[in-house]
Structure 1
Amino acid sequence: MKGLLGFLCFVLLAQGVGGLVQELAGTGPHLWGLTHKIGFLDDHQIYANIGLIVLGLAVGAAADSAGRREP
C-alpha cells in the first residue's frame, strides 16, 4: 500500500509542479499535463495545478503514515 501511495504522490506532484511551471513561464506547447487536457479548466489551470500539488502532499503524508502502521 505504501508503494502505491508513494507512486501516486509522485505522479500528482510531478503533474502539479510541471503544469504550474509551464503555466507561469508561458513557454512551449502544452504537450503533457493533466490540467491542459481537461476542457472545463481552461481559465483555472494554475489553481488546478496548485490543487494537484496539495493533493500530492496529502497523499505523501498518508503514505508515510501507512508505512508506520504496518508491522
Structure 2
Amino acid sequence: MKKLLEFFGFVALVQGVAGLVHEFTDWHWGLVQRLGFLDGYELYTSIALVLLGVALFAAAESRTPG
C-alpha cells in the first residue's frame, strides 16, 4: 500500500508541476490543460494536485512497511 500511495503521489505531483509550468511558461505538456472541463481553473487544479501529491507522500510515510 505504501508503494501505491507513493506512486499516486508522484503522478499527482508531476501533473501539478506540469500544469504550473504550463501556466507560467506556456510549455505544452501535462494533463491538466488538456481537460476541457477545467478551462479557466487550470492554475487552481495544478495547485490542488501539488498539495494532493504532498499529502499522499505524507500518508505513505505514516504507513508501516509491509
The reply to whether TM is greater than 0.5 is yes
Look up the match of 1:41. 38
Question: RMSD of the alignment, in Å?
Answer: 1.4
**TM-score computed with the length of structure 1 as normaliser:** 0.81
Name which one, 1 or 2, has greater alpha-carbon Rg.
1
Provide the secondary structure at the position in 2 that maps to 1:48.
helix
Q: Give, in angstroms, the shift of residue 44 of structure 1.
A: 0.9
Could you list the runs of 4 or more consecutive aligned residues of structure 1 that deviate by over 6 angstroms after TM superposition?
none
Structure 1 stretches lacking a partner, 5+ long: none
Unaligned runs of 5+ in 2: none
> Identity of paired residues, percent?
50
Aligned residue number for residue 21 of structure 2: 21
